[in-house]
């Protein structure tokens, strides 16, 4: 082994004497990160056996010797490959030398440990072993500094002082608060003080402007010609694409901000809003503000029932969040109806009381709705008295007062106290000239005319799918209805929220894998549509041969419905659900030939008002020939939790497990059983509704 070290040192001296490094050696150097973990793991495992053996006074010398021999061989190999990797350049020389020589020292010490153990010389052996563990830790630390930068180890330490983010958009510095965090997250790992790929460092203004081996990476005023942008927009598979494939990639929003910053002069001192103000910029900058995280609980079923009974319709603002939007659907509202909203005050962010015969005498209950962001009071006989109840609602962003009795004094009070983003006062007692003066003094946009902004905020309708099938085996084309005239449809396939920088729908989208589709409509002078979303699933196995222990109820029959590839809606009576009253769904699936399986998903319905609950448990069994079924996996779900059972919705339960090879599986979907104590049907049989079981 020492001979190998001699060869390595000779090779090192030879390569240092020439500037022409063979590409094959650079290729071998790329294996250094792969190999270096072998001696580390081997040495730590041997040290563990050594400690346990000394405590128990019983261990295998052969095991220890073989482990040290293994670690020594791969430590020497890691040193050689590490040197080859350093020949690529781009690493800070001082840190590289410390890492290299501590690595060589570690390899020598491991080799000495192996020789000492082999010769049974125990006096120096254990102290030397402890020293080796310390040295390999130092080597690893400097390796992480080379690879990830000198703050890698301490970046998330609770002792590290973190810079506080601004809390308002106006305070954001474009470079230090927005652009640098993007570079720090996606680029600085390879372009820092100790690791400068391509000779480029991005840790400071001076280093960024200095550029790298290819010259300046930044051309202020010309983003598309700047090397830093050129590299980002290359195809991921291109070897010059940055960040490299497999690394955390720049998002479309981050690229937009980076290009906007460069195109507007790439200032390192100016604030973000020093440039042309536009909606896209403001919307993206919000992500870089300090957010006060608040955990909002789900509204209780009893509170929701009271609100609905009073005449309101409710829906979630986002499907996976507790925030609610309410609209009064009856002809005339009452003070009692408004008082029911206090039960959902923590969740209510949008309220529509348009044309509900609301009066000042009924409005006092509005002051309890502290979380409101959008409020419509238009087409009602309310005056400044109602506005007095709103002055503490600091979260209001949009207030519609069209066709009310509000005057200049009321407008001034609202603008000065809560300063909403938009107020609609067309057809009120507010003087047009006064409104114009208020706009000059404040950031609030006051809409006083039907032509410079509609009295009502009109969102586009969500896009509609022509494609009905959501489950497929090979490939599928997703087709939308054609957008209307000037409207544009944007979509994502990874479950992220679409915006006007996402992919635009031009032609049918062909998919060959499972995707989570979200789509949104955009048009100038209209609010974006609500987000449309749909899940598309690619499956491996279509079930044709199965047995069902309990048949579905005669009210909702059809065992075949759980394997027919036809997705049901959230309406339990649509004819696509198989319903089980009090019974579990127990099915045995038979394949003609053994199949490879690693997951099962079950689509179920929750409509607790109709006594339909999600399953409380799902179990998967499999069997080999001439053996009984064995349980493979189980998942449990808190189906009777009152806080989770507040809405009508579908849910796909996916059960994943290590890959199995089998001809038969059994799936048991457990009914919730008797209804819980909080339910109006307490003690009665619950319903289980299932529409699709997918085998993958």
Domain CATH code at residue 113: 1.20.120
Residue 575 lies in a domain: yes
Query: What is the phi/psi pair of residue 565, to 5°?
Result: 65, 15
Please indicate, yes or no, if residue 628 is contained in any of the structural domains. yes
Q: Are residues 245 and 373 in the same domain?
A: no
Read off the pLDDT of each residue in 371-378 and give the average, rounded to a whole number. 92
Quickly tell me which residue has 């080859």 as its tokens. Answer: 84
Q: Is the pLDDT of residue 451 over 50?
A: no
307 and 384 together in one domain = yes
SS3 assignment, position 176: helix
| Domain final residue pick, 488, 515, 538 | 538
Same domain, 217 and 309: no
What lies within 8 Å, CB to CB, of 188 at 6+ separation is: 149, 202, 203
Give yes or no for a contact between 305 and 311, defined as CB atoms under 8 angstroms apart.
no
CA–CA distance, 656 with 602 (Å, rounded to integer): 12
From the number of C-beta atoms within 10 Å of its C-beta (0-12, 13-18, 19+), residue 125 rates as middle
- Token pair listed for 273: 């809003």
- Let me know if residue 462 belongs to a domain: no
Residue-by-residue DSSP string for 394-462: TT--EEE-TTS--BHHHHHHHHHHT--SEEE-TTSB--HHHHHHHHHHSS-EEE-STTSS-SS--BPPP
Q: Considering 514, 538, 562, which residue would you say is the last residue of a domain?
A: 538
Count of beta carbons in the 10 Å neighbourhood of residue 546: 17
Cα–Cα distance measured from residue 511 to residue 544, given in angstroms and rounded to the nearest whole number: 24
Residues 387 and 319 in one domain: yes
pLDDT at 5: 47
Whether residues 672 and 553 fall in one domain: yes
CA distance 340 to 299: 13
Is pLDDT at 649 greater than 90 in this prediction?
Answer: no
On whether both 365 and 429 belong to a single domain, the answer is yes
Q: What is the pLDDT of residue 401?
A: 92
| DSSP designation for 610 | G
Same domain, 349 and 410: yes
Distance, first Cα to last Cα, the chain:
50
CB 196 within 8 A of CB 92: yes
The alpha-helical segments, DSSP class H, found in 252-354 are 252-263, 279-285, 301-309, 335-339
The beta strand positions in 57-112, using DSSP E, are none
User: 191 or 648, which is more confident?
Assistant: 648
pLDDT in tens, 111-149: 888 887 777 666 777 778 888 888 888 777 777 665 655
Section 632-651 average pLDDT: 88
**How far is the C-alpha of 173 from the C-alpha of 223, rounded, in Å?**
19
Cα separation of 395 and 606, whole Å? 33
What average pLDDT is seen over the chain?
80
Q: Closest Cα partner for 680 from 405, 274, 373, 301?
A: 301
176 shares a domain with 250: yes
Rounded Cα distance between 41 and 208, Å, is 39
Asked if 173 and 143 sit in the same domain, the reply is: no
How many residues are there in the chain?
696
Nearest Cα residue to 686 out of 642, 648, 638, 639: 639
In a domain, 554, yes or no: yes
Q: Is the dihedral of CA 367, 385, 440, 525 positive or negative?
A: positive
Helix (H, G, I), strand (E, B) or coil at 364: helix
Which of 232, 266, 288 marks a domain boundary? Answer: 288
User: How many angstroms separate the CA atoms of 359 and 205, rounded?
Assistant: 59
Please state the three-class secondary structure of 198-245 as a single string.
HHCCCCCHHHHHHCECCECCCCCCCCCCCHHHHHHHCCCCCCCCCCCC
Query: CA 462, CA 483: separation in Å to the nearest integer?
Result: 10
pLDDT of residue 160: 45
Q: Which of 351, 279, 342 is nearest to 312 (CA)?
A: 351
Task: Please report which confidence band the pLDDT of residue 453 belongs to, taking 50, 70 and 90 as the band edges.
Answer: very low
Q: Residue 159 — pLDDT band, cuts 50, 70, 90? A: very low
Average pLDDT estimate for 493-519? 89
Q: What is the pLDDT of residue 158?
A: 45
**550/529 Cα distance (integer angstroms):** 44
pLDDT band at 206 (very low <50, low <70, confident <90, very high): confident
List, in order, residues 6 or more apart from 376 with CB less than 8 Å away. 351, 352, 353, 354, 400, 456
pLDDT at residue 673 tops 60? yes
Three-point CA angle 17, 21, 24, nearest 5° = 140
Highest mean pLDDT among 46-55, 237-246, 347-356, 527-536: 347-356
Question: For residue 213, how many other CB atoms are within 10 A of its CB?
Answer: 11
CATH of the domain at 425: 3.80.10.10
Whether 529 shows a pLDDT value over 60: the answer reads yes
* C-alpha distances out from residue 67 to 45, 48, 62, 204, Å: 8, 11, 8, 46
Q: Is 452 a residue whose pLDDT tops 50?
A: no
The residue with tokens 């085998």 is 695
By DSSP bridging, strand 374-376 and strand 348-352 are parallel
Residue recorded with tokens 């009064």: 328
Look up the domain containing 278 and give its range: 169-288
pLDDT > 50? residue 73: yes
Is pLDDT above 50 for 161?
A: no
pLDDT higher than 90, residue 78: no
Nearest to 467, CA basis, from 478, 455, 457:
478
Asked if 337 and 319 sit in the same domain, the reply is yes
201 assigned to some structural domain: yes
Q: How far apart are CA 270 and CA 287, in angstroms?
A: 19
For residue 550, the number of C-alpha atoms closer than 13 Å in the C-beta half-sphere is 18
Instruction: Read off the CATH number of the domain in which 569 is found.
Output: 2.60.120.260
Q: Which of 126-140, 345-359, 373-387 is least confident?
A: 126-140
What pLDDT band is residue 380 in, cutting at 50, 70 and 90? Answer: very high
Which DSSP category does 57 fall into?
A: T
pLDDT digits (tens, 9 = 90+) for 456-493: 456 778 888 888 888 888 888 999 887 655 688 899 99
pLDDT at 12 over 70: no
Q: Exposed, middle or buried: residue 206 (CB in 10 Å: 0-12, 13-18, 19+)?
A: exposed
Within 8 A by CB and 6+ apart from 118, the residues are 65
pLDDT at residue 454, rounded to an integer? 38
Provide the number of structural domains found in the chain.
5
Longest dimension (CA), the chain: 101
Angle between helices 37-56 and 125-148 (to 10 degrees): 150
Same domain, 410 and 486: no
pLDDT tens digit sequence for 301-329:
999 999 999 999 998 887 678 889 999 98
The better pLDDT of the pair 284, 554 is held by 554
- Domain membership of residue 158 (yes or no) is no
Could you tell me if 53 and 89 lie in one domain? yes
Contacting residues for 403 by C-beta, under 8 A, at least 6 apart: 378, 379, 380, 426, 427, 428, 455
Q: Is the peptide bond prior to 209 cis by the omega test (within 30 degrees of 0)?
A: no
pLDDT at 128: 82
Per the CB < 8 A criterion, the answer to whether 194 and 229 are in contact is no
């Amino acid at each position: 082994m020492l001979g190998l070290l001699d060869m390595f040192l000779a090779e090192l001296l030879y390569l240092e004497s020439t500037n022409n490094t063979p590409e094959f050696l650079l290729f071998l150097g790329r294996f250094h990160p792969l190999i270096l973990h072998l001696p580390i793991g081997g040495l730590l495992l041997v040290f563990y056996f050594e400690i346990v053996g000394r405590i128990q006074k019983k261990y295998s010398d052969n095991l220890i010797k073989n482990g040290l021999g293994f670690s020594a061989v791969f430590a020497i190999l890691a040193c050689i490959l590490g040197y080859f990797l350093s020949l690529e350049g781009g690493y800070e020389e001082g840190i590289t030398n410390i890492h290299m020589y501590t690595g060589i020292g570690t390899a020598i010490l491991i080799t000495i440990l192996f020789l000492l153990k082999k010769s049974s010389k125990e006096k120096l052996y254990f102290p030397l072993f402890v020293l080796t563990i310390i040295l390999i830790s130092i080597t690893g630390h400097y390796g992480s500094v080379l690879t990830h930068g000198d703050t890698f180890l301490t970046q998330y330490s609770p002792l590290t002082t973190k810079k506080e983010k601004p809390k308002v958009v106006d305070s954001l510095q474009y470079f230090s608060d927005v652009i640098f965090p993007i570079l720090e997250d996606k680029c600085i790992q390879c372009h820092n003080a100790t690791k400068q790929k391509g000779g480029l460092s991005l840790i400071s203004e001076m280093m960024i402007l200095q550029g790298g081996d290819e010259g300046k990476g930044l051309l202020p005023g010309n983003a598309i010609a700047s090397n830093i942008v050129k590299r980002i927009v290359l195809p991921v598979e291109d070897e010059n694409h940055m960040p490299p494939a497999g690394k955390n990639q720049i998002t479309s929003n981050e690229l937009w901000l980076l290009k906007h910053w460069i195109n507007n002069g790439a200032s390192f001192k100016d604030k973000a809003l020093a440039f042309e103000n536009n909606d896209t910029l403001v919307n993206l900058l919000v992500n870089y503000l300090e957010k006060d995280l608040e955990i909002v609980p789900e509204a209780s079923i009893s509170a929701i029932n009271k609100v609905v009974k009073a005449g309101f319709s409710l829906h979630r603002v986002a499907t996976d969040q507790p925030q609610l939007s309410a609209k009064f659907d009856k002809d005339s509202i009452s003070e009692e109806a408004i008082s029911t909203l206090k039960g959902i005050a923590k969740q209510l962010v949008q309220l529509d009381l348009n044309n509900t015969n609301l009066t000042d005498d009924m409005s006092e209950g509005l002051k309890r709705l502290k979380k409101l962001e959008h409020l419509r009071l238009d087409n009602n006989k309310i005056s400044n008295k109602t506005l007095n109840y709103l002055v503490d609602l600091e979260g209001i962003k949009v207030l519609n007062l069209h066709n009310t009795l509000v005057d200049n004094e009321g407008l001034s009070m609202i603008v000065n106290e809560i300063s909403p983003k938009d107020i609609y006062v067309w057809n009120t007692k507010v003087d047009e000239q006064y409104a114009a003066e208020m706009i000059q003094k404040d950031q609030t946009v006051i809409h006083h005319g039907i032509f410079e902004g509609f009295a009502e905020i009109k969102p586009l309708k969500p896009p509609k799918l022509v494609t009905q099938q959501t489950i497929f085996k090979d490939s599928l084309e997703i087709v939308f209805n054609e957008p209307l005239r000037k409207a544009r449809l944007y979509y994502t396939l990874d479950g992220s929220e679409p915006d006007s920088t996402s992919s635009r729908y031009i032609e049918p989208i062909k998919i060959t894998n499972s995707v989570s589709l979200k789509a949104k409509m955009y048009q100038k002078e209209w609010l974006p549509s609500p987000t449309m979303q749909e899940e598309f699933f690619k499956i491996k196995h279509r079930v044709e041969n199965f047995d069902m222990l309990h048949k579905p109820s005669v009210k909702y029959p059809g065992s075949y419905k759980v394997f027919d590839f036809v997705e049901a809606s959230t309406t339990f009576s649509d004819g696509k659900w198989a319903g089980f009253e009090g019974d579990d769904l127990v099915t045995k699936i038979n394949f003609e030939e053994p199949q490879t399986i690693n997951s099962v998903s079950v689509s179920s319905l929750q409509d607790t008002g109709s006594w339909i609950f999600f399953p409380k448990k799902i179990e998967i069994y499999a069997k080999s020939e001439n053996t009984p079924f064995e349980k493979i996996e189980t998942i449990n779900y808190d189906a009777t939790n009152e806080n989770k059972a507040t809405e009508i919705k579908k849910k796909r339960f996916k059960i994943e497990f290590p890959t199995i090879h089998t001809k038969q599986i059994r799936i048991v979907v457990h009914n919730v059983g008797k209804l819980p104590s909080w339910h109006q049907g307490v003690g009665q049989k619950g319903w289980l509704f299932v529409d699709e079981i997918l085998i993958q």
